[in-house]
Structure 1
Amino acid sequence: MVVQLHELRPLPSAQEQAEAQRQLELRQQRQLAMSDTRRAHVLDAARRVFAARGVEGASIREIAREAGYTAGALYSYFDSKEAICAALVAESLDRLQAEVQAARAPKGQPAKALVAKAQAWFGFYAQNPRDLDLGFLLVNGLSPELDRALNERLLQALSPCEQAFEDMGLSPDAAARENAALFAQGMGLLLLQHTGRIRLFGQAAPALFAQYVDRLVERFDPAIASGAVKQRDLFAE
Structure 2
Amino acid sequence: MNQAISSPRDLRQQALANAKRKHILSAATAVFIEFGLEAVSMREIAKRAGYTAGAIYSYFANKEEIYGALLAESLERLNAFVGEAAQRVLSEPGTAFDELRHSALAFYQFYRDNPRDLDLGFYLFQGLRPRGLGNEWDQALNMRLRDAMRPQEIALNKLGCNAKETDTELTAIFAHIVGVLLLNHTGRIRMFGKGADELMAHYLDHLALRLPKKKLL
Q: Shorter-normalised TM-score: what interval?
A: 0.7 to 0.9
Indicate conservation of the 8 Å contact 1:165/1:175, yes or no. Answer: yes
Q: Show the counterpart of 1:113.
A: 99
- Matched AA of 1:22: I
Indicate conservation of the 8 Å contact 2:28/2:45, yes or no. Answer: yes
Q: Show the counterpart of 2:33.
A: 51
SS at match of 1:33: helix
- Matched AA of 1:67: A
Q: How do residues 28-67 of structure 1 correspond to structure 2 at under 5 angstroms?
A: 28-67=10-49
Deviating runs (4+, > 6 A) in structure 1? none
- Matched AA of 2:130: N
- Once the two structures are superposed, residues 30-68 of structure 1 have per-residue CA deviations (whole angstroms, 9 ceiling, x without a partner) of 433332221111001112212332333322111101111
Q: How do residues 1-237 of structure 1 correspond to structure 2 at under 5 angstroms?
A: 21-23=4-6, 27-103=9-85, 104-105=88-89, 106=92, 109-137=95-123, 140-141=130-131, 142-220=133-211, 222=213
- Matched AA of 2:211: F
**1: CA distance, partners of 2:212 / 2:21:** 46
Q: Show the counterpart of 1:14.
A: none
Query: What is the RMSD computed on CA atoms of the aligned residues?
Result: 2.4
TM-score, normalised on structure 2?
A: 0.86
Change (3 A) 1:219 1:92: same
Indicate conservation of the 8 Å contact 2:160/2:215, yes or no. Answer: no
Q: Show the counterpart of 1:10.
A: none
**Structure 2 residue ranges without an equivalent (≥5):** none
Paired residues, what number?
A: 208
SS at match of 2:51: coil
TM-score, normalised on structure 1?
A: 0.79
**2: CA distance, partners of 1:146 / 1:65:** 26
**Structure 1 residue ranges without an equivalent (≥5):** 1-16, 230-237
SS at match of 1:58: coil
**2: CA distance, partners of 1:124 / 1:99:** 7
Change (3 A) 1:211 1:73: same
Higher relative contact order (CA 8 A, sep 6+): 2
